Amino acid sequence: MEMLKVSAQSNPKSVAGALAAVLREKGSAELQAVGAGAVNQSIKAIAIARGFVAPNGIDLVTIPAFTEITIDGEERTSIRFIVEPR
Amino acid sequence: MEMLKVSAQSNPKSVAGALAAVLREKGSAELQAVGAGAVNQSIKAIAIARGFVAPNGIDLVTIPAFTEITIDGEERTSIRFIVEPR
Q: How does pLDDT run across B16-68, given as a tens digit for each residue?
A: 999 999 999 999 999 999 999 999 999 999 999 999 999 989 999 999 999 99
- pLDDT over 90 at B1, yes or no: no
Confidence of residue A48 (pLDDT cuts 50, 70, 90): very high
Strand blocks (E) in chain A? 3-6, 29-33, 60-71, 74-85
When CB atoms are compared, the residue of B43, B65, B66 closest to A79 is B43
Q: Do A79 and B37 touch (CB under 8 A)?
A: no
Tell me the shortest Cα–Cα distance from B6 to chain A, in angstroms. Answer: 14
Q: Where are the domains of chain A?
A: 2-85
Identify the CA nearest to B64 among candidates A69, A49, A36, A79.
Answer: A49
Q: Do B40 and A36 touch (CB under 8 A)?
A: yes
Tell me the shortest Cα–Cα distance from B72 to chain A, in angstroms. Answer: 23
Dist CA B65 CA B56 (whole Å): 27
Give this complex's ipTM: 0.93
CA B77, B78, B84, B86 torsion: positive or negative?
positive
- pLDDT over 90 at A1, yes or no: no
Q: What does each C-alpha distance from B43 to A22, A44, A54, B50 come to in angstroms? A: 23, 12, 23, 11
> Which pLDDT value is given to residue B63?
98
> For the domain B2-85, what is the CATH superfamily, name and number?
Alba-like domain (3.30.110.20)
> Which pLDDT value is given to residue B9?
98
As a whole number, the mean pLDDT across chain A is 95
- pLDDT over 90 at A2, yes or no: no
- Average the pLDDT over A21-28 and give the result: 94
What are the chain A neighbours of B43 within 8 Å (beta carbons)? 39, 43, 64, 79
Dist CA B27 CA A37 (whole Å): 30
- pLDDT over 80 at A54, yes or no: yes
A31 in B contact zone (CB under 8 Å): no
What are the chain A neighbours of B46 within 8 Å (beta carbons)? 64
pLDDT tens figures, B74-86: 999 999 999 999 9
- Average the pLDDT over A26-52 and give the result: 97
* A60-64, A73-77, B78-82: range with lowest mean pLDDT: A73-77
Asked if B67 and B76 touch (Cβ cutoff 8 Å), the reply is no
What are the chain B neighbours of A7 within 8 Å (beta carbons)? none
- Average the pLDDT over A50-72 and give the result: 94
